[in-house]
């Protein structure tokens, strides 16, 4: 038996070759739908009606119950319509434990091989950073900029890249000032950082 299928059997306890029905991201969506629905005080029928009214999308009450009980998958269209109905971003539905997660809590996403800190996961979901804790080893600027180009509209990736470059320049200037003040570096050795 090949290693990939063996890993799936061990990890998911299912028949070889059968994918899991719900990974961590699907579970997060199901839980968030339930939390938003109950916080709004809606029953399944009321959420179904709201979807129809404000999002022009149809998921019947049984379908909503099945989503929350992880018996029905959420399509991309469902995800966006549910976000409209709840008045949140689609990203909000993808964030595990949205209302209770702490910044340093470990959370899981489908496709990532290990849990990440919630703050890292949120930045990744909102296309502001790479999803791995070791995403910024020395020399990783090109990797980060390539991620921005793939993950964002061009006007967003350009603005984020410019802000990131400005932040790096400010950090470099601050570090150089501190080194000069401490006597570790001569002021004539400090460059303006634009070279």
Look up the CATH number of the domain holding residue 71.
1.10.260.40
pLDDT given at position 194 = 53
Structure tokens at 1: 């038996």
What token pair was written down for 23?
A: 């990974």
| CA–CA distances in Å: residue 78 to residues 21, 47, 52, 83, 98 | 17, 12, 11, 8, 18
Do 28 and 89 lie in a common domain? yes
CA distances from 48 to 14, 75, 79, 192 (A): 33, 15, 13, 59
**pLDDT by position in tens, the chain (length 195):** 444 444 444 444 444 555 447 899 999 999 999 999 999 999 999 999 999 999 999 999 999 999 999 999 999 999 999 999 999 999 999 999 999 999 999 999 999 889 999 999 999 999 888 887 554 454 567 777 788 788 888 887 788 778 878 888 888 889 888 888 888 888 887 776 554
pLDDT at 13: 46
Residue 114 in any domain: the answer is no
User: Is residue 64 included in any domain, yes or no?
Assistant: yes
List the domain range (segments joined by +) for residue 85. 24-94
- Specify if 83 maps to a domain: yes
Per-residue model confidence (pLDDT) at position 139:
52
pTM for the whole structure:
0.73
What is the pLDDT, as a whole number, of residue 5? 42
Domain total of the chain: 2
DSSP 2: -
**Does a structural domain hold residue 102?**
no
Please check whether residues 90 and 145 belong to one and the same domain: no
124 within some domain: no
Query: Per the domain annotation, does 60 fall within a domain?
Result: yes
Q: What is the pLDDT of residue 35?
A: 97
Does residue 157 lie in a domain region? Answer: yes
Residue 150, pLDDT score: 84
User: Which residue has 């997660």 as its token pair?
Assistant: 101
- Dig out the tokens for 193 from the structure: 């950082």
- Sign of the CA dihedral running 34, 40, 46, 52: negative
């Amino acid at each position: 038996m090949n290693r990939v299928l063996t890993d799936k059997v061990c990890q998911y306890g299912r028949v070889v070759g059968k994918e899991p029905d719900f990974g961590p991201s699907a579970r997060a969506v199901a839980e968030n739908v339930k939390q938003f629905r109950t916080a709004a005080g809606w029953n399944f029928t009321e959420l179904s009606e709201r979807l129809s009214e404000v999002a022009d999308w149809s998921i019947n009450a049984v379908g909503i119950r099945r989503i929350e009980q992880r018996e029905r998958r959420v399509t991309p269209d469902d995800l966006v319509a549910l976000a409209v109905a709840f008045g949140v971003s689609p990203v909000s539905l993808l964030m595990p434990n949205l209302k209770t997660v702490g910044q340093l809590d470990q959370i899981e996403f489908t496709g990532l091989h290990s849990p990440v800190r919630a703050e890292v996961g949120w930045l990744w979901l909102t296309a502001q950073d790479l999803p791995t804790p070791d995403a910024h080893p020395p020399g990783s600027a090109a990797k980060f900029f390539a991620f921005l180009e793939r993950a964002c509209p061009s006007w967003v990736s350009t603005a984020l890249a410019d802000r990131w470059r400005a932040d790096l320049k400010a950090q470099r200037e601050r570090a150089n000032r501190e080194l000069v003040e401490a006597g570790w570096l001569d002021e004539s050795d400090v460059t303006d950082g634009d070279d």
